[in-house]
A and B are shown apart, each in its own frame.
Chain A
């Protein structure tokens, strides 16, 4: 168990280490990079993209809650079987 925790900590540290300097850089470059390439700018200006994000987040949240629920149900069955 301790080994698992250690490995996960290592993975997380690596993720933070690689993404932190990057987030700082992203702030600098984002405003300068407007060019001719077509992007969904209009959708973003209209604010409608947030609706899509909300729907996506809802779907993912629903799936995750479903998994949590299933996890609890299986946990309860395991407890019952042990008794």
Chain B
């Protein structure tokens, strides 16, 4: 039971996010209105994605240092869950953008960069699928994964800040800092990031265990 405490924490944080995030008072802002609550659902998808993909890269490095099947499995499953979070991030972002920026896709630099980042990760899955040999697939996949993450950082955090963007924190727009993210928002936002990320980690945990079981069965069959 002691090993499962973080899953309980996930349940508590996600439910806290949904209930308190919907009921709590939020700042009254023009245009955004109540949609500011999307901060608890759209933004944590991206934070979760980055953290899970970072984990994926760490396990890819681990695989290159110590080629155990387990390291490769965790790296792939983390990439899968990271991509899921990224796709959800793009979709929720488009929904939010339609009603605040006016268009689903306004070619915002951060939107475009996020789409490119996801394509890079789709290519990771395609690349892996194109090898017959398990070890070759794992090794080349691991190397690609490291470069994919390295490409994601400038795409999401540097390039959009170099030009004008509709996203907060870019092109002179206010972002997350002590002066403009309302205190009430922080009280839900940080637990939300932790909760959604842990939910993703839980999904990786389950998928990796399932994959390891599968391999055991194939080996013994």
Binding site for B on A (CB under 8 A): 8, 11-12, 14-15, 18-19, 21-23, 25-26, 29-30, 33-35, 37-40, 49-50, 52-53, 56-57, 60-61, 64, 67-68, 70-71, 74, 77-78, 81
Task: Tell me if B7 is interfacial: C-beta within 8 Å of chain A.
Answer: yes
**Residue in B4, B183, B213 whose CB lies within 8 Å of A74:** B213
Task: Tell me if B203 is interfacial: C-beta within 8 Å of chain A.
Answer: yes
Bound-state CA distance A12–B29 (Å) is: 30
The total of chain B residues at the interface (CB under 8 A) is: 36
Are B206 and A70 in contact, with the CB atoms below 8 A?
A: yes
**Residue in A19, A29, A64, A67 whose CB lies within 8 Å of B187:** A19
Residue contacts A-B, CB under 8 angstroms, 7 given = A25-B184, A33-B27, A64-B10, A67-B199, A67-B206, A68-B11, A71-B206
Per-residue A-contact encoding for B166-208, CB less than 8 Å = 1, 0 else: 0000000000000000011011001100100001001101100
Bound-state CA distance A37–B219 (Å) is: 64
Q: A50-B23, A53-B22 are in contact. List 14 more A-B contacts (CB 8 A).
A: A11-B194, A22-B184, A22-B186, A26-B24, A30-B25, A30-B184, A33-B25, A34-B28, A35-B28, A39-B28, A49-B23, A64-B15, A81-B216, A81-B217
Task: Tell me if B33 is interfacial: C-beta within 8 Å of chain A.
Answer: yes
Bound-state CA distance A18–B199 (Å) is: 22
B contact patch SS: helix
Task: Tell me if B18 is interfacial: C-beta within 8 Å of chain A.
Answer: yes
Give the chain B neighbours of A23 by CB distance below 8 A: 187
Task: Tell me if B221 is interfacial: C-beta within 8 Å of chain A.
Answer: no
Are B33 and A38 in contact, with the CB atoms below 8 A?
A: yes
**Residue in A26, A34, A68, A77 whose CB lies within 8 Å of B7:** A68
Residues 119-141 of B at the A interface (beta carbon under 8 Å): none
Bound-state CA distance A29–B25 (Å) is: 10
Given contacts A30-B25, A33-B27, A60-B15, contact A67 B203 (CB under 8 A): yes
Give the chain B neighbours of A81 by CB distance below 8 A: 213, 216-217
Are B213 and A78 in contact, with the CB atoms below 8 A?
A: yes
Which A-chain residue is minimally distant from B37 (CB atoms)? A40
Are B33 and A39 in contact, with the CB atoms below 8 A?
A: yes
Give the chain A neighbours of B205 by CB distance below 8 A: 71
Give the chain B neighbours of A78 by CB distance below 8 A: 209, 213
